[in-house]
Amino acid sequence: LATTSIKHNTLAVACVVRYKRKYVTQILYAPL
């Protein structure tokens, strides 16, 4: 899991997932 510091009450988390033969960095922004 990758995270960024919380700014403006918003948290961003991410992880790199393999989808078939390609690599997707899924980034989710969520409010605290």
Least gap, CB of 30 to other proteins (angstroms): 4
Residue 3 CB, nearest distance to other proteins (Å)? Answer: 6
Tell the smallest beta-carbon distance from residue 25 to other proteins (Å): 4
Which residues are near other proteins by CB under 8 A?
1-6, 8-15, 17-32
Q: Which positions ≥6 away from 23 have C-beta within 8 Å?
A: 16, 17
Cα 32 to Cα 1, 7, 19, 22, 23, distances in angstroms: 17, 10, 29, 31, 28
